[in-house]
Amino acid sequence: MITNRTIFVQFTKEGIHRYPAAETDPKLNRSNSVDDKWLDVSFLASPHRHIFHFRVTISVTHNDRDIEFIQLKRDLENQYNSSLLEIDYKSCEMLAEDLIDYISKKYPGRKISVEVSEDGENGATLHFEPSA
C-alpha cells in the first residue's frame, strides 16, 4: 500500500549574499589564531556569489498530475524574478522558509520540504507539516 505520494521540482538561481556575524563572532572569525586559521570564515561577511540549488517536494493526492511539475517549477522560479538574487544576509534556511510560506498558502494542507544549497554542496532542508 502506498502511504506517501510526493512530487519534486528543482531549479537553480545565481545569487549574492553575506553573513555579517562572520566578521565579529569569535567562533567564525579565527583570522588572528595561528592554530585555528583554517577554521576562519570571516570572508563570508563580505558579499559573495553562489549558485543556489532549490529542491521542493510537495505531497499530492493521486498519480495523475495533481500538481503539474512544469507549472510548479515555473511558478517557484518566478518568485525570484530577477536574474540575480540579491538576498543580503539570508541563509539557505531563510530562503527555504520563504518558499514554504509561499507554497503552503498556494497549496494548503500539503506536506512540503524545501532544500536549498550553496553550489550544490552545503545547505539546509526544512520540512513543513500542516496542522491537523
Q: Which domains does the chain have, with CATH numbers?
A: 6-13+50-128 (3.30.479.10)
Provide the whole-model pTM. 0.92
pLDDT reading at 30 higher than 90: no
Residues 6+ apart with CB under 8 A from 22: 28, 29, 41, 42, 43, 44, 45
Give the rounded distance of the alpha carbon of 48 from its chain centre: 16
pLDDT at 83: 82
pLDDT tens, 35-78? 788 899 999 999 999 999 999 999 999 999 899 999 999 999 99
The answer to whether residue 100 scores a pLDDT higher than 90 is yes
